Amino acid sequence: MTDQDQPIIDSTAREIPTKKRLYRSTTDRAVAGVAGGLGEFFGVDPGLVRVIWLILSILTLGLALLVYALAAWIIPKEPPEYAAIKITPQGNLWPRLKSNPMVLWGGLLLLAGVLLLLNNFGLLPWRIGALWQGVMSVVGPALLIGLGVYLVLVFLGRAPDLRRVARAGGDLRRAGHSLPLRRSRRDRQLAGVCGGIAAYFDIDSLVVRMAWVLLTVVTGGVLGVALYVAAVFLVPMSNE
């Protein structure tokens, strides 16, 4: 090696990072790139990191989501020059879940069954039954009160005209067309609600679907189903 060659080698070494750095990934991103960055930093499947984070979010009743938000704020986004030369781990869990609905729903049902089983043995840090009871303690009385008020108004002859209620519902639905949120026509498995939310917030639709299903499970099917039906009624379908 001659003296003339040495500056060229040193210059190249300064341009290429010699060790891994923790960044939020821009090439493997579902929400903010935190899980993708952790997977690339530790050399594990980023999809596995996302699934573990989702499970921790359930077990901690959302505390892990706050940790995610904090990590997204603290960890910097990777620069373009680092993204071009980094070594990405070999993992295919997330693409397989996205491309194979049977695997996705099978995994979600498996996770829901495991949660219910752990709950029955008292191994969860919280109780699913308590969440169900909390939701029904509000929904049940609200339905009874609404029905009772309606029957009283019928007896007094002051019940609202059903045709007027229908028109009000139509007005409410037309008001939804003024909102920027749309249900997705291309990325949908039921009515495109999760795909539309994902497109609006620029996140992965699989994250939205998994979160929605698990929210439905832990609330006894009431909150998740009610919100989905309301979204189908109020949010218009995208033209594309």
In a domain, 1, yes or no: no
pLDDT above 90 coverage of the chain, percent:
0
Do 94 and 138 lie in one domain? The reply is no
The helix/strand/coil state of 75 is coil
Q: Provide the residue range defining the domain that includes 63.
A: 6-99
Q: Quick check: 182 and 196 in contact, CB under 8 A?
A: yes
Do 95 and 134 lie in one domain? The reply is no
CA distance linking residue 63 with residue 56, whole number of Å: 8
Average pLDDT for residues 90-110, to the nearest whole number? 77
Tell me which residue of 58, 42, 30 sits closest to 114, measured CA to CA: 58
Domain boundary residue, one of 99, 116, 140: 99
Q: How many domains does the chain have?
A: 2
In a domain, 109, yes or no: no
Angle of CA points 41, 47, 53, to nearest 5°: 85
Do 198 and 139 lie in one domain? The reply is yes
Q: Is the pLDDT of residue 37 over 80?
A: yes
In a domain, 107, yes or no: no
Predicted confidence band of residue 156 (pLDDT cuts 50, 70, 90): confident
Looking at residue 190, what is its pLDDT?
82
Looking at residue 214, what is its pLDDT?
75
Domain boundary residue, one of 79, 99, 119: 99
Cβ count near 20 (within 10 Å): 13
